[in-house]
Chains A and B, each alone.
Chain A
Amino acid sequence: MSLNALLLAAVGLVALAATGCKPKSDDSIRVERVPKEVDSAPTASNLPAGHPAIANGAAPSMSGPAGMSALPGMAEFTAATPTPKWSPPADWVEAGMTATRKGSWRTPVSAAADQQAEIVVSVFEGQLGGLLANVNRWRGKVGLPTDLTDARLGENVQNITLNGRAAQLVSLDGPQGQSLDGVLVFLPGKVWSLLLSGPTPAVKNERTAFRAFLDGIRWQD
C-alpha cells in the first residue's frame, strides 16, 4: 500500500503540474539582430523563366487568416446586401468565391490557370476611399504609376449607367502584361466594385462579354 501511495502521489503531482501550470504566453521583450530583410515581392528580374509578369503592389488578398484585404465585418456586410440579378456568359466558370465576394468567375476555361482572366464583384461598406484612391490602387495593380491626381482623373474614367445607376468605368493596360477593367458604383453608404483583371490578352478577349454582363445587371438593393 505504501508503494501504491507513493505512486499515487507521483502521478498526482505530474497531473497537477500538467493541469495547473499552463505556461502563459511569453510577454518578455525580445531583442534580435537579423540580416536586412530581402524584399520578397517578385520583380521582373527574379521571376523564374516563363512565369507571367506580376504587377508591383499586388498582394496576397484572400484565402486564409494571413490575407490582409478582408476588413472586419466585410463578410457580414456582403452577406446582408442583396445580390443583383445577372447573366454571366456561359463560358465563365464560377471560381474563387469567398465570403467577401458577391460573384467570382474565371475565363476562358480552356486556358491555363495563369492565363485566365478573373471577374470579381464585391460590395463594400462606406465609400472605399473614393474614386481617385481606387483608380490609383488599380493603376498600381497593373504596374502603372499611382500618382494620378484629381485634375487628370477624367483621362482614366468613363461615366456610364448601369441599370439606372451612375457608375465609373476604368480601363487600364499595364506595361507588364496585366490589364484591368473596373467599375465602381457609389451609393449612399456603400460601393459596388466590378472587376475584370488578368493577363492583357485574356482581359482584352473578355472586354465585350464583360460590358454585356454589366449591361445585364439588375440591382436588387
Chain B
Amino acid sequence: MRPVFKFFSSLRLTVTLLAFSMLLVLLATFEQVQWGVFEVQKRFFEAIVVLWQYPAQWPHADAWQWLKVPLPGGFLLGGLLLINLCCAHFRYFRASWRKTGIVLIHAGIVLLIVSGFLTAYLQQENYMWINVGGQANFIESFHDRDLVFIDHTDPKTDTVVSIPVSRLDANQPIHDPALPFTVKTIFYYPNSTPGLRSQNPEMPVLPADHGVALNHDLTFARLPYNYSTEELNVASAVVDIEGSQGSLGKWLVSTMFDDPKTMPPIFKSGLPQTFTMDGHTWEVILRPRRTYLPYTIKLDNFIHQLYPGTTVPQRYESQVHLSNPTTNEDRPVLIYMNHPLRYGGLTFYQSSFAQGDSASMLEVVRNPGAPLPYIAVLLVGIGMALHFTLSLTAHLRRQSSSPRAS
C-alpha cells in the first residue's frame, strides 16, 4: 500500500482532524465576542489557514499577545476529512449487502461535508425593510456596499449603475461604458461617524463642494471597522465626478443618506444629490448592495402582540401581499416566526420590526444547498437503523443456530 494512501486513509488522521475541528470551534467561539459571527465565520471556517493570536481580553494579554499560532482552517479540515473518509472507505470496505448501512452512513457524512462547502459558497443573506402600507421589489445586503449612480431621465424606468466599494481606490479612476463620466475616489471610509463642525471644530473639513456638503458643515471622521452585530458601520466617501467638460463636483456620499426619510431635517437639505450631464439627470448614492426582484412584496399589516400585562412577545406577524406580474400571481401571504415565505429560490423570514411596530424586517436567504443537510441526516439515520437491524438479525440467527448449552 502506498504511504500517501495509507496516510490519508488512517484513523489517526481522522482523530487528529476531529481534534483540530473541536479546537477551531472552541477558539472561534471565544473570538466571536470580539469579531462577531460574520467575521469569525470568514476567518476561521471559510479559510484554509487561521493565524490565531492570543486574545487581548484574556488574562496577562500584555505578556502573551506576541503568541501567534497557525491552525488549519475550516475549509482545510473539511477537505481533509472528506478525503480521509473516502480513502478509509476504499481501504477497509469490502462489498457486501450486510454493509449497506455503513455505505449509507458514509454517504450521509460526505453529503453533510459537501453541503457545508456549498452553503459557504452559495448562501446569500439579505434583508427587506417594508413599512406598513409600503412595498419593496428589492432586497439589500447586510455587508456589501455599492456606490450607485441612477439615471432618472426616463419617465418610466431608472438606469442603475452599481459600483462595488471594493473598486473605490484613490489611485484608480473608474471608467465604465455605462457612465458618461469618470469617477475619482478622494476617500472611502468603511466606517465613520458624522458630526457638525460647528459643534465639533476638531472634526475634519471634507473636500466636498456639492450637494449635501454645500448646505451645512456636515463632516465625517474615520472610525475603526465595527464587527459588532449590534451596531452599524456608517460608510462614507467623497468622489470627484469628471465629465468631458471638466469636474461636475466633489460629492459627499454616505450610507446615512441612503434613505432621506430616515434623516434628521438638518441633513435633508441637499438630498437627493443629483447632477445633470448631457440632458440626463443622475443621482449619486452610497448604499447597501441591492438585488432587484421580478416581483413586489407589500406589507399590508404588521402585528406585534404581547402577553397581556407583560413584555413577553406572543406573536410577530407580517401580513404581506405578493404580486408577480410575470406569473400573474397576486396573493396574500402570512409570514411569522418559524413560518417563512419560500418563493423564487428565496426564503423570507420574519426577522425584526421597528418604528413603533409599523415597519417589518424580513431576512431573505438564498441557499440552494439548504435541503442537503436534511438528506444527509436522513441517510445517516437510515444507515444506522439498517446496520443495527442487519447486525441484530445476524446475531439472532447465529444464536438460534448454535447448539444450546444444556
Contacts and interface: CB of A to CB of B under 8 A. Distances in A.
Contacts of B163: 29
B140 A66 contact: yes
B398 interface: no
Interface of A: 1, 4-5, 7-8, 11-12, 14-16, 18-20, 22-23, 25-43, 46-48, 51, 54, 56-75, 93-95, 99, 106, 109-110, 113-114, 118, 126-127, 129-130, 133-134, 136-137, 140, 146, 198
Per DSSP, chain B at the interface is: mixed
Nearest to B266: A133
Contact of B230 (A26, A66, A75): A75
Given A42-B132, A93-B311, 18 more contacts: A4-B91, A11-B82, A15-B80, A18-B75, A18-B79, A19-B79, A36-B155, A48-B133, A60-B129, A60-B361, A63-B352, A65-B142, A67-B232, A71-B193, A75-B230, A75-B231, A114-B357, A136-B266
27 contacts: A1-B1, A4-B90, A5-B2, A8-B87, A11-B86, A11-B87, A18-B114, A19-B75, A25-B164, A30-B162, A36-B157, A40-B129, A40-B131, A40-B134, A40-B136, A41-B134, A60-B262, A60-B355, A64-B351, A65-B142, A66-B129, A66-B288, A71-B193, A99-B230, A127-B200, A137-B264, A146-B265
Interface in B167-187: 167, 174, 176, 178
Nearest to A7: B90
B267 to A, nearest CB: 9
A9 B49 CA distance: 22
Contacts of B264: 129, 133-134, 136-137
Interface in B218-235: 223, 226, 228-234
A197 to B, nearest CB: 8
A1 B216 CA distance: 76
Contacts of B131: 40-42, 54, 60
B231 A54 contact: no
A47 B5 CA distance: 68
What are the nearest 10 A-B pairs in CB distance?
A40-B134, A59-B262, A42-B133, A15-B79, A64-B352, A60-B354, A19-B79, A46-B133, A19-B75, A133-B266
B178 A31 contact: yes
A22 B255 CA distance: 28
Contacts of B359: 59-60
Contacts of B354: 59-64, 67
A40 B78 contact: no
Contacts of B136: 40
Interface residues of B, number: 98
B44 interface: no
Nearest to A62: B354
B304 to A, nearest CB: 6
Interface of B: 1-2, 5, 8, 46, 48, 75-76, 78-80, 82-83, 86-87, 90-91, 114, 117, 120-121, 127, 129-138, 140, 142, 144, 155-164, 166-167, 174, 176, 178, 191-196, 199-200, 223, 226, 228-234, 255-256, 258-259, 261-262, 264-266, 268, 288, 292, 300-301, 304-306, 308-311, 351-359, 361
A192 B78 CA distance: 52
Contact of A59 (B162, B261, B265, B361): B261
B117 to A, nearest CB: 4
A66 B355 contact: no
Contacts of B194: 71
B259 A22 contact: no
Contact of B259 (A23, A59, A64, A134): A59
B137 A22 contact: no
B86 A8 contact: yes
A58 B83 contact: no
Nearest to A133: B266
B167 A54 contact: no
A27 B79 contact: no
Given A40-B131, A64-B352, A113 B86 contact: no
- The residue among A32, A54, A73, A114 with the most chain B CB atoms within 10 A of its own CB is A32
Contact of B160 (A34, A48, A140): A34
A73 B80 contact: no
Contacts of A14: 82
A33 B265 contact: no
